[in-house]
Structure 1
Amino acid sequence: MIVIDNVLISDEVISEQFVCDLSKCKGGCCEDGDAGAPLEENELKELDKNYEMVKEYMTVEGKAEIEKQGKYIFDKNFGWVTPTINHEICAYGYRDEKGIVKCAIEQAYNDKKLDWKKPISCHLFPIKIQQSKQDEDLEFVNYEPREDLCKAACKLGKSLKVPVYKFLKDSIIRKYGEEFYDSLDATAQHLNK
């Protein structure tokens, strides 16, 4: 376990290797799970503020689910999450011409229509963050790839020798800042000597 500020990071974030292989998994993390993507409180405002711009990238079914359920819903097990279509694909997801699930929010961001990339839980996957139940200032950062779905990503990460934390550098910096990432990298370098 690595401790930086009030964040406990599992050793696997440094020791394991991972690189998404969308040609194999087809973005399955956007449709395989018990609920939609977890959302932080500030992300609810982002969805409210940016929905009109995101909407043009969404499927008819996705927009219908938003009309029916709302831009986000509260799940008793996971807190605030994105709605899903038939308990499968995220309402903000769509398939490209290769059958890969893409994110309407991220596409609007890529097209410079908004400055919010996507939910941080999606950007950090396969890292999952959990708040401590005893101390609200304490967070746990765990590496949790999906056993079957992420098999190709684990294999590609190993062949390219890319540690999880390096693959997720941008999202870790987005969540915790450059100084945090630099501390994590320095810890990894020290442990790998």
Structure 2
Amino acid sequence: MVAIDDKLISTEVFDRKFVCDLNACKGACCVEGDGGAPLTMEEVDIMEEILDDVIPFMRPEGIEAVKKSGVFYIDPWNEPATTLVDGKECAFVYFDEKGITKCAVEQAYLAGKTSWKKPISCHLYPIRVKKLSDGIALNYEQWDICKPACSCGEQLNVPVYKFLKEPLIRAFGEEFYTDLEGIDETLKNAGLED
């Protein structure tokens, strides 16, 4: 682990390679798993506010789940998470003509209907943020369904943090990202990563 202010960052975000390969995985991270995408209460408010702009991009099953339960539920850790369809995929997914899972929230953003891209936990994946008593930890989450992304990242030699430049800056700012680049260089010079 390395530290930047109140953030502890796993060195795996520097030495692991990762580039999403949606043609291989079909966006399984939005469908598989044991819960919805983690949200903040501020994000819950945003999602409720933009829901009418997102609904045109959602599947009927997702719309029905949100009408029944709202945009979120409280998970076993007492945190908000995106509503699921029948306890499985995120209510905000849809499938494109190739069967690739896409995000209705992001599609509304890309269509110019909203100014908010998607929940930061989704945008930062495979980095997961965990609250600590005096800060946060940023950890790389390894998941078998992401093997194609790891292979693609290895071929292209793209570390996790570089793949996630946009969401890292969105979440923590330009200076934080510049600090990550400096740490990466220090680790390379010390021979602590490939």
**TM-score interval for Structure 1 and Structure 2 normalised by the shorter chain:** over 0.9
1:182 partnered with 2:194? no
Q: For residues 78 and 24 of structure 1, what CA distance do their matches in structure 2 show?
A: 34
Count of residues in Structure 1 that have an aligned counterpart in Structure 2: 189
Report the Cα offset of residue 13 of structure 1: 0.4
Q: For residues 176 and 16 of structure 1, what CA distance do their matches in structure 2 show?
A: 21
Equivalence for 2:164: 168
Does the CA contact (< 8 Å) of 1:26 and 1:100 recur in 2? yes
Does the CA contact (< 8 Å) of 1:38 and 1:78 recur in 2? no
1:21 partnered with 2:21? yes
Q: For residues 53 and 172 of structure 2, what CA distance do their matches in structure 1 show?
A: 27
SS in 2 for 1:129: strand
Structure-2-length-normalised TM-score? 0.95
Equivalence for 1:145: 142
| Structure 1, 67-76 or 27-36: larger mean CA deviation | 67-76
Equivalence for 1:48: 48
Q: Which amino acid aligns with 1:156?
A: C
1:12-32 per-residue CA deviation (whole Å, 9 max, x = no partner) reads 001110000000100000011
Q: Which runs of 4+ in 1 moved over 6 A?
A: none
Q: For residues 164 and 71 of structure 1, what CA distance do their matches in structure 2 show?
A: 29
Report the Cα offset of residue 88 of structure 1: 1.3
Structure-1-length-normalised TM-score? 0.96
> Where do 5+ consecutive residues of structure 1 fail to align?
none
Identical pairs, percent:
46
Report the Cα offset of residue 44 of structure 1: 0.8
Q: For residues 143 and 187 of structure 2, what CA distance do their matches in structure 1 show?
A: 26
**Pairing partner for 1:192 from 176, 188, 191:** 188
SS in 2 for 1:145: coil
> Where do 5+ consecutive residues of structure 2 fail to align?
190-194
Does the CA contact (< 8 Å) of 1:127 and 1:145 recur in 2? no
Report the Cα offset of residue 89 of structure 1: 1.1
Q: For residues 15 and 141 of structure 1, what CA distance do their matches in structure 2 show?
A: 14
Report the Cα offset of residue 76 of structure 1: 2.2
Report the Cα offset of residue 78 of structure 1: 5.8
Does the CA contact (< 8 Å) of 1:54 and 1:108 recur in 2? yes
Q: For residues 156 and 100 of structure 2, what CA distance do their matches in structure 1 show?
A: 22
After TM superposition, list the pairs within 5 Å mapping 1:31-180 onto structure 2. Answer: 31-77=31-77, 79-132=79-132, 135=133, 137-147=134-144, 149-180=145-176
Q: Cα RMSD (Å) of the superposition?
A: 0.9
